[in-house]
Structure 1
């Protein structure tokens, strides 16, 4: 037999951004508790609204599963005497397991005959276990930002106001934070009155819907999307549905009703990003476009309630947005009174970091780095001038009224104001692009000028912070250095930029000379290691297997784009028949190469066999050939060529004793093997490769 289980945790309004992660934790915690208690269940569903977290579990068994235990005791000849009577040891073991000696079983094992005790613990009724189990589910649910309330020691996402717990038709009695469980819930805050009695879990969702609460968040989301589509059809427009915004809006309402409002046509003169930011970030509105993807003077919002008095609600939302856009228009016009360039000097009043000076100081470094990197990439003089100009203006919009009000528009407004000032399109675009990528799935800079300034800005942030000891640890990364390092890696790989990590770090360290508070060599070492973690992520996303990643990252990875090319080449070569030959010859020479002296030289006069002469000649010829292939980035062919030395290596091992008694001869042979091992690892450190 089984029954459905319902737990509703009623709370004050939970912030939308915490809901989905809370659902995941609640589901895992409930599943773990039920499994630990040997309670079989059907489907576990977790959902909720801003005012409630709901755990609904189908087909929960009415009893725990029986627990069967089996314990091995002493050997048979210790537990029983020759006549089959229990010894003191046998009787003691049986008593300890709650059995009599005649209930013990004798079994053959690999180590001989032993006695075993098999017992069965009968499962309890589930209804008796649920109070403690559900209490633990609630109290052990953790949050990134929990809170306390009243005089309670307990922490939860928001204060708990009521608890509903039913197992079939039976109420589960327990209390948490002085709130007793009952068999009632509450409906919509404004559209429902009083308590709603729930007689059994199966009635819960429909009973709440009658009181204007759509509990299932997936159902609410579908309702919102359907209502928006209806508006699109009626207005012949396209509503821009941002998935993150849709998720947030979904968890701001319990009974959604979408509506369409409008704003004055004159505001369409503002940059589209300003309008969209005002609607999305401040009001949680969805922008509206025509078929040409141009913004219309319309918006869509979602009301928490029914369509009753919808015109009044629409008018209220329009008034709020009108005021917001009026402010934006004022800021936009005020910012244009003076040029973007004139605002650069105001950056002297903004501290970048207390040990690293002002934003103005940082801009000076970005200008120098952009110039250096543009030259390194062999850009034209025009592009170099555009890069340094963009670097100079890149942070100027931070002191504008618009960015002060809408921080997410940094870069966007810089681009707009630059164009209004008559700056080159390339310069304006780079001002916007230098912030890219802003988050994991964001777009990357497309222009060469934007790529250069973006890398300059990010490497300065990383190296500057590392130089004063600001290094990300665990989840702590206040300056988002991990994201910026990954951004540099992705930009270089995507644009196939021929610039090394050494160049980036060394150039940045040179400009930071007076600000560096740690040993320069240690700063560079830490930054390189930091980037290797980002490279490892890049290789993992490229489906490079773990040992190949290790083999590649154990070599010089300063050329980021080349690192990915080499990794893919090793993966391709790994599928070839010659791969096993390469690993075999490497392992053969590398084992002995470890014993070679660090500083030595091959002395051909010490060769005692023609096989040694041939191996050395083949090595030198192969070294030249592979060097050219590596220069051409033809790594697969290079790996194929490296396997050709196997025959010469095998011949040496077959004809001479490497560990000769003569020390000079022995050292000469070991160093020759060391040279061969190093050559074989030119593409990747083969010692890291794992043979399946």
Structure 2
């Protein structure tokens, strides 16, 4: 016979950001606990509101299944003494298994006989096992924990009640001085204390007390009400998924309402208005169908729709105060000039060992200038890029960004435009923060891309130089995300700029400026490896197999867009049987080239026509191949390199590379080393698992 089991943990209100992960943990840990305890069950349903976390488990068996196991004991020579009697080891083993020596039999394992017994393990009653479930609650991890009162337990929030039911039966256990019961609590204001008659009645019991325990149903109710309001008012609601999730976890019984604010506030940039509504008040902004922000907002109340108009009016007053602040900040920020704001950067510490924000801006400007030269920008473009770099951080001293930090760059663009800066320069001030999150949008303009790369490079090189290298999951300065942003921007623009060259440029700036740094060699090694790992991550994200990733990056990243195209091509080639002779030929070269001490080749030492032929073909191939690689024409380059396959095979068929004559041997190895240099420029083909693919 099976029953439904319910466990509910009642708490003071949890932060909304804790709930999703806590519920996922609870379900996973419950499944593992049941499996580890050999308790058969059906499905696990999770529930969560700000005041509770719960799991409902269906079809839970009354007891564990019985087990019959074979237990292995000591070897026969240890189990029997010289007279053939059972030794203490054998007797002790059988007692430990709940059997006696009459149950012993021997089985041979790898030529040695061992004592064995069969033991029967009767399944335990599920009700008794469930009394240990409190350990699952206590195993939950939260970003922050707290203690309350005189209790020793550290938990996300104080535990106020616990429900534990096996069908209709209460499962007894306690955490601190909170004991399990069938008693639970409804909505804090609309509901009351109530009892759950059985585990199957959990959702309905709470629903009667104005609590929607299901996260999915609660969110669906919010979305449904938003859509109804949208249709009724002919609005276009911006339903941000993160905000929707947060609001879902802030309420137990949702009711949507709308309010209005004065049109005068629409003079403030809509990004500031939307941020104020979303971040401070958790409101959904309202747009017209032609995407213009309207002077309305939509919120979600934790309760029913009684007196909803009064609720809306109260929220309007709160929002009005917020928007007045934004309006004031906006007006104040337009006073003075950009230069006056930039001067304040010299009084703002960027990083104690790396100087002020003004110092950082100077480095960004220098890097931007060099990168502009490498990319061959026109004089006008160089001037715009330099100006964008010079003012890229000025909005950090504005009151609007001080209040809404997430608007850095966004307000910089708007203020730059108001202060009369060139349109491309203003846009670059915003774009240089892109991408703002993993897989986010990259800068769309050339100038914005250059300043973005310069800023992120300075941050990474500076941090690594003073020893702030990310380890494990710790990356407080977001260096991994910024490195990915650099690579994604390079890839998007298709720029043929060596990543290593960029890194070394900025590192050299730090050395010349005599900024505090670790040893030059250590920093160089850490920076190159840090970017190589990030490049490998992006290639794997693009579904490139790990062995091909390692092959392409073996000699460094180089031009990242080119590295990506080489990897994609090799993924195709590894599945083409016609490429196998090429791969084998080039691979043989790489394997033997490792034995060479130098690349010197003296044609007069050739002893066969195959040597001369390979040498002659390589001279022709090298010139074309080098030009194609420098231009990023990876398909043509590989085709050109493939032209070496036939003369390489002929060479190995006719020539003993490791000749007895030292000079001849060195000459042949030198030729192979020269060829290997070109192959490595493409990839280390020996790292690719070719044979598994043919």
Which interval holds the TM-score relative to the shorter structure? over 0.9
Tell me the equivalent position of 1:566.
Answer: 566
Q: 1:334-381 deviations in whole A, cap 9, x for unaligned?
A: 111222332111111111111111111111222222222222222222
Structure 2 CA distance for aligned equivalents of residues 112 and 474 of structure 1: 46
For the residue of structure 1 that corresponds to 2:474, the secondary structure is coil
Structure 1 CA distance for aligned equivalents of residues 226 and 14 of structure 2: 25
Distance 1:269 1:656, change over 3 A: closer
Structure-2-length-normalised TM-score: 0.94
Structure 1 CA distance for aligned equivalents of residues 14 and 368 of structure 2: 46
Contact 1:573 1:639 in 2 (8 A): no
Instruction: Work out whether 1:207 is the aligned partner of 2:205.
Output: yes
Q: Give the deviation of 1:483 after TM superposition.
A: 1.3
Q: 1:438-459 deviations in whole A, cap 9, x for unaligned?
A: 1124322111111111111111
Contact 2:258 2:297 in 1 (8 A): yes
Q: Give the deviation of 1:311 after TM superposition.
A: 1.3
Contact 1:86 1:101 in 2 (8 A): no
Q: 1:531-588 deviations in whole A, cap 9, x for unaligned?
A: 1121112101111101000101112313222211211121122222233223322443
Structure 2 CA distance for aligned equivalents of residues 441 and 667 of structure 1: 50
Structure 2 CA distance for aligned equivalents of residues 603 and 180 of structure 1: 89
Structure 1 CA distance for aligned equivalents of residues 171 and 429 of structure 2: 61
Tell me the equivalent position of 2:301.
Answer: 303
Structure 1 residues 17-26 or 558-567, which shifts more?
558-567
Distance 1:26 1:618, change over 3 A: same
Aligned CA RMSD, in angstroms, stands at 2.5
Contact 2:27 2:44 in 1 (8 A): yes
Tell me the equivalent position of 2:612.
Answer: 613
Tell me the equivalent position of 2:633.
Answer: 634
Distance 1:216 1:615, change over 3 A: same
Tell me the equivalent position of 1:445.
Answer: 443
Structure 1 CA distance for aligned equivalents of residues 509 and 671 of structure 2: 43
For the residue of structure 2 that corresponds to 1:515, the secondary structure is coil
Q: 1:41-74 deviations in whole A, cap 9, x for unaligned?
A: 1111222100111111111111113333223457
Tell me the equivalent position of 2:621.
Answer: 622
Q: Give the deviation of 1:38 after TM superposition.
A: 0.8
Tell me the equivalent position of 2:187.
Answer: 188
Tell me the equivalent position of 2:61.
Answer: 61
Distance 1:379 1:116, change over 3 A: same
Q: Give the deviation of 1:426 after TM superposition.
A: 0.9
Distance 1:600 1:261, change over 3 A: closer
Structure 1 residues 198-207 or 504-513, which shifts more?
504-513
Structure 1 CA distance for aligned equivalents of residues 608 and 586 of structure 2: 21
Q: 1:292-323 deviations in whole A, cap 9, x for unaligned?
A: 10011100000001111111111100000011
Distance 1:680 1:395, change over 3 A: closer
Work out the number of aligned pairs and report it.
688
Q: Give the deviation of 1:169 after TM superposition.
A: 0.9
1:109-128 equivalence runs, <5 A: 111=111, 116-128=116-128
Tell me the equivalent position of 1:145.
Answer: 144
Tell me the equivalent position of 2:368.
Answer: 370
Contact 2:500 2:556 in 1 (8 A): no
Structure 1 CA distance for aligned equivalents of residues 520 and 79 of structure 2: 71
1:253-652 equivalence runs, <5 A: 253-512=251-510, 513-597=513-597, 599=598, 601-652=600-651
Structure 1 CA distance for aligned equivalents of residues 500 and 591 of structure 2: 32
Contact 1:364 1:392 in 2 (8 A): yes
Contact 2:184 2:194 in 1 (8 A): yes
Structure 2 CA distance for aligned equivalents of residues 333 and 679 of structure 1: 61
Structure 2 CA distance for aligned equivalents of residues 78 and 376 of structure 1: 79
Q: Give the deviation of 1:651 after TM superposition.
A: 3.4
Distance 1:87 1:158, change over 3 A: closer
Q: Give the deviation of 1:107 after TM superposition.
A: 5.9
Q: 1:376-411 deviations in whole A, cap 9, x for unaligned?
A: 222222221111112222211111121122111111
Q: Give the deviation of 1:77 after TM superposition.
A: 9.7
Structure 1 residues 335-344 or 157-166, which shifts more?
335-344
For the residue of structure 1 that corresponds to 2:644, the secondary structure is helix
Contact 1:258 1:302 in 2 (8 A): yes
Contact 1:90 1:101 in 2 (8 A): no
Tell me the equivalent position of 1:33.
Answer: 33
Distance 1:166 1:652, change over 3 A: same
Q: Give the deviation of 1:124 after TM superposition.
A: 0.3
Structure 1 CA distance for aligned equivalents of residues 671 and 371 of structure 2: 40
Q: Which runs of 5+ in 2 are unaligned?
A: none
Structure 1 residues 554-563 or 72-81, which shifts more?
72-81
Tell me the equivalent position of 2:653.
Answer: 654
For the residue of structure 2 that corresponds to 1:4, the secondary structure is strand
Contact 1:66 1:122 in 2 (8 A): yes
Structure 1 CA distance for aligned equivalents of residues 89 and 15 of structure 2: 63
Structure-1-length-normalised TM-score: 0.94
Q: Give the deviation of 1:141 after TM superposition.
A: 1.4
Q: Give the deviation of 1:86 after TM superposition.
A: 8.0
Distance 1:142 1:429, change over 3 A: same
For the residue of structure 2 that corresponds to 1:65, the secondary structure is coil
Structure 1 CA distance for aligned equivalents of residues 265 and 547 of structure 2: 57
Distance 1:332 1:647, change over 3 A: closer
Q: Which runs of 5+ in 1 are unaligned?
A: none
Structure 1 residues 612-621 or 221-230, which shifts more?
612-621
Structure 1 residues 587-596 or 279-288, which shifts more?
587-596
Structure 1 residues 616-625 or 332-341, which shifts more?
616-625
Contact 2:165 2:198 in 1 (8 A): yes
